[in-house]
Amino acid sequence: MREKTLLKETMGSIKKHKWGIISSLIVAAALFYGGFQLGAVQSPPAAQEPQVEVSSDGPLGVSSTLLWDAIDIVKNKYIHIDDVKDEDFLYGTIRGAVNALGDPYTTFLNPSDAKKFDEDIRGNFGGIGAEIGKRDGQLIVVSPLKDNPAERVGLKAGDIIVKVDDTLMADFTVEEAVKIIRGEEGTVVTLLIMREEWNEAKEFEITRATVIIPTLEWEMIASPGQEDKNIVYIQLYTFNANASSLFRDAVTEALFSGTKGVILDLRNNSGGFLDVAINLAGWFIDKGDTVTEERFRSGESRALVARGNAALRNLPVVVLVNGGSASASEILAGALRDLRGAKLVGEKTFGKGSVQELETLKDGSTLKISTAEWLTPAGHSIDKEGLEPDIEVALEEPAEGEEFEDAQLKKAIEVITPMLGQAAPPPLVIEYVDLRSATSSE
């Protein structure tokens, strides 16, 4: 496992504050919270034989007789038709319609899969500790979670998952892949991984474990040539319900310690509660300023605005991002760049900026469908595009026996140093919205 080394010549001795507030997520892949809304969800009645009525004038403006002609041919000619249930045709048709959209975040689960997925989320099971997503039809690691099995064996953001054990992942949805990757704690799963700079794929054996996710770490660091620690470095791992209060505590102590600047590290933070991202933005921008805009298919939009006290309004800010920064991370980073001129340092973000609604159908199957997209305050679409860093810095693996150097953090310190002391922070007034009971907006 990598050891993060803070350069002694630039930072001096370090006082680190770490909270063990943990999300007991035991998932191999947590779905992206920063754009998910529960739609009109009804409790499913007892399971019943699925039925469907289709007119000749289909909802897509084409004749549905073509569909039924194809089904009739299959029923009349397929050699093993006696092994196929009628509902398999129905669910297969729905999956075909959903897959035709080409949207990895719009998915369909039949009643049995939906029930199992819900039971898995609520139950005890093991995972590898990595956020999983799809890009260009490939299953990828969005971000390995800190101090979890995937990170310990060396998985990285952007790794392509070619195979899980003996199963190729090419045509699998994220949910289907998660079902295979998860399993009993202590058991081993083998992932065949392809990385951009490799000539051939490599296997990683990962022992499943209970996945624990830290929320936030912070420390005061010194700019080059300074003895006093005058920069607060905040590493946010997830936008969970604890993040707002922990961020408040960190900022409060940092301000009383005389911080002159903020480095916010959102690398490998794949999202969380949208409300938390909005709340954290309120520390940096004026109350009422637009943090993000939600745009619907009709062209109508809805602005989500900051509601904090802007206690960090006058302090220079640098944001660290990479390919594992997604969803709520991208919303916050985009707002700070557009409204505060914050510099983004690192690598291009993932590009997950769509809103999903979850619909439960009357037979117990579920349909998760993208209904809107997020825009930054300047109107930049996050979805599929991501955010390009203002200053691109790649991380290189250290040679064997050498200590890892965080070149991205080093560059962030270099960028923020000339800005320190240019403006004094406003009077410290701590206002805080308690989001511990917030609703997930995945």
Please write the tens of the pLDDT for every residue from 400-439: 667 778 999 999 999 999 999 776 555 444 444 444 444 4
Residue 61: predicted pLDDT: 57
Active site residues: 327, 338, 352
Please write the tens of the pLDDT for every residue from 84-142: 888 888 898 898 899 899 888 899 988 988 887 776 556 556 789 998 988 888 999 99
CA 402 to CA 194: how far, in whole Å? 25
Residue 120: predicted pLDDT: 59
Residue 399: predicted pLDDT: 66
CA angle 283, 389, 381 (to 5 degrees): 75
Computed on alpha carbons and rounded to an integer, the radius of gyration of the chain in Å comes to: 24
Please write the tens of the pLDDT for every residue from 54-65: 444 555 556 678
Helices (runs of H) and strands (runs of E) counted in the chain: 10, 21
Please write the tens of the pLDDT for every residue from 270-321: 898 999 999 999 999 999 999 999 999 999 999 999 999 999 999 999 999 9
Would you give the DSSP letter of residue 95? Answer: H
Domains of the chain: 8-21+215-419 (3.90.226.10), 116-207 (2.30.42.10)
Query: CA dist 375 to 273, 303, 304, 327, 379, Å?
Result: 17, 9, 10, 11, 5
Instruction: Give residue 24's Cα distance to chain centre.
Output: 17
Query: CA dist 362 to 29, 50, 357, Å?
Result: 27, 9, 16
Q: List, in sequence order, every residue forming a beta bridge with 23; answer none if it has no partner.
A: 213
Please write the tens of the pLDDT for every residue from 137-168: 899 999 898 889 999 999 999 999 999 999 99
Please write the tens of the pLDDT for every residue from 234-264: 999 999 989 999 999 999 999 999 999 999 9
> Would you say residue 46 has pLDDT above 80?
no
Tell me if 133 sits within 8 A of 164, measured CB to CB.
no
Residues 6+ apart with CB under 8 A from 182: 27, 28, 120, 125, 126, 127, 208
CA 36 to CA 21: how far, in whole Å? 23
Residue 193's pLDDT band, with cuts at 50, 70 and 90, is: very high
CA 52 to CA 64: how far, in whole Å? 12
Q: Which two tokens stand for residue 242?
A: 């604890």
Residue 2: predicted pLDDT: 37
CA 64 to CA 373: how far, in whole Å? 30
Mean pLDDT of 185-207: 95
> Would you say residue 368 has pLDDT above 80?
yes
> Would you say residue 204 has pLDDT above 80?
yes
Would you give the DSSP letter of residue 105? Answer: T
CA angle 235, 310, 321 (to 5 degrees): 30
